């Protein structure tokens, strides 16, 4: 900032804002202000509150009343290869470990998700077109 004689710089995207400001005429450190969707604008030097982050369940991990297929990434869940096609897997379907059960779109890339275990689909836990998080349960196996 000193080399180019900048006093302020800002970048703004969909879920992120960054603003750097340097007081002119003083020898001071730049002030960085960052924004994340879960936090209001605040100087970066202030400690952020740590939110409790749930531990994702590993693919195929059992908990309570079944075994679950979980999302290996953040993205958008699609139950079929196209809107006109039938779903990859539905309630009552038997699946093998190498069966494709859904597609998760992440960064404009369609990722086919395999079951990684054999069983029968007892419940589909997300709706077509719904955003999903890493480790989120997608299917419950019987």
pLDDT tens digits along 21-63 = 776 555 555 555 555 555 454 454 444 444 444 444 444 444 4
DSSP reduced 3-state for 124: strand
pLDDT tens for 80-98 read 999 999 999 999 999 999 9
Residues forming CATH 2.40.50.100 domain(s) in the chain? 67-141
Residue 12 has pLDDT above 70, yes or no: yes
Pairing of strands 67-70, 75-78: unpaired
Question: How many residues are present in the chain?
Answer: 142
Can you give the pLDDT at residue 129?
94
Can you give the pLDDT at residue 138?
95
CA distances from 132 to 25, 58, 101, 129 (A): 49, 15, 15, 9
Q: Does domain 67-141 have CATH number 3.40.630.190?
A: no
What is the rounded radius of gyration, in angstroms, for the C-alpha atoms of the chain?
22
Arithmetic mean of pLDDT over the chain = 77
């Amino acid at each position: 900032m000193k080399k180019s004689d900048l006093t302020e710089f800002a970048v703004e995207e969909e879920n992120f804002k960054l603003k750097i400001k340097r007081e002119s005429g003083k020898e001071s450190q730049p002030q960085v202000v960052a924004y994340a969707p879960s936090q209001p604008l605040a100087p970066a030097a202030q400690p952020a509150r740590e939110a409790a982050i749930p531990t994702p369940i590993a693919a195929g991990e059992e908990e309570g009343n079944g075994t679950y297929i979980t999302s290996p990434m953040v993205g958008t869940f699609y139950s079929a290869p196209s809107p006109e096609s039938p779903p990859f897997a539905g309630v009552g379907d038997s699946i093998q470990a190498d069966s494709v059960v859904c597609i998760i779109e992440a960064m404009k890339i369609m990722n086919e998700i395999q079951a990684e275990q054999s069983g029968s689909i007892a419940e589909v836990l997300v709706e077509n077109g719904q955003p999903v998080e890493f480790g989120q349960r997608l299917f419950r196996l019987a």
